[in-house]
Amino acid sequence: MKLIPALLAAAGTLALTFSAHAQEAAIRKALAERIPQMDKIDEVRPTPMKGLFEVRIGTDLFYTDAKGNYVIQGELIDTKARRNLTEDRIAKLTAVDFSALPLKDAFTIVRGDGKRKVAVFEDPNCGYCKRFERDMQNVDNVTVYLFLYPILSPDSAEKSRNIWCSKDRVAAWQDMMVRDKTVPAASCDTSAIQRNLAFGRQYKITGTPTLIFANGTRVPGAIGAAEVEKRLAEASSDTASAR
């Protein structure tokens, strides 16, 4: 007799699973037929709000009802928990594993023992980046992986090329960003910069500077030396406890 409740429970689970798959299929079908740009949906999943479903295409999020009759592009806020659920979800989707960063496409700036690590995406025409670089002169015992990320203007691409193709990339970068010197024109293979741009698009890096610390913490925008020190300490502590 004990077998009957277990069978009923299993049947109920299967029914719910089938229902969820059927509902997802119905949403995919409706949206693909009505909105051609939504013909390649990566994921459909329910949200905490009853009757509302998240539709994910890459790292872009949309919301729809159970039948795909309506689409909302915006942010979902949990007022009780006071959390931006859309923001939280995008942060999770675009999180960068520090160990997976394509470091071959960056150049390194080492200060002191270089034990602490941070990756930075920067545009040579970015005023905030220049301020950040000047503040970083006061941060010691760190290795900075500098990813050239020219997104502000065509001139940014030219300056990034000149820096990347310089005999001494670190000196050229410091000359331009810290000492306001012009870097001589240079040419070489700049496919690494193109890969940086593709990487940034994938992970929604939309502004410079963008910092990524060893524990995966991501900071958009310039921060001062004191805040960098704080973040580096937190990252060192997190990575040590994870071992």
Instruction: Tell me how far CA of residue 135 lies from CA of 74, 84, 126, in angstroms.
Output: 36, 32, 14
Terminal alpha carbon distance of the chain: 49
pLDDT for residue 226: 96
pLDDT for residue 22: 86
Tens of pLDDT, residue by residue, the chain (243 residues): 556 655 555 545 555 555 678 899 999 999 999 999 999 999 999 999 999 999 999 889 999 999 999 999 999 999 999 999 999 998 888 888 899 899 999 999 999 999 999 999 999 999 999 999 999 999 999 999 999 999 999 999 999 999 999 999 999 999 999 999 999 999 999 999 999 999 999 888 999 999 999 998 889 999 999 999 999 999 988 766 666
Residues linked to residue 210 through DSSP beta bridges, in sequence order: 121, 220
Q: Are 66 and 27 in contact (CB under 8 A)?
A: yes
3-state secondary structure 160-179: HHHHHCCCCHHHHHHHHHCC
pLDDT for residue 21: 85
How far is 47 from 27, CA to CA, in rounded Å?
14
β strands within the chain, DSSP E: 43-46, 53-57, 60-64, 71-72, 77-78, 83-84, 107-111, 116-122, 142-148, 210-213, 218-220
Residue 102 token pair: 């394509």
Residue 109 token pair: 């700036």
Please spell the DSSP secondary structure of 16-58, one letter per residue. HHHHHHHHHHHHHHHHHHH-GGGSS--EEEE-SSTT-EEEEET
How many residues does the structure list for the chain? 243
β strands within 123-209, DSSP E: 142-148
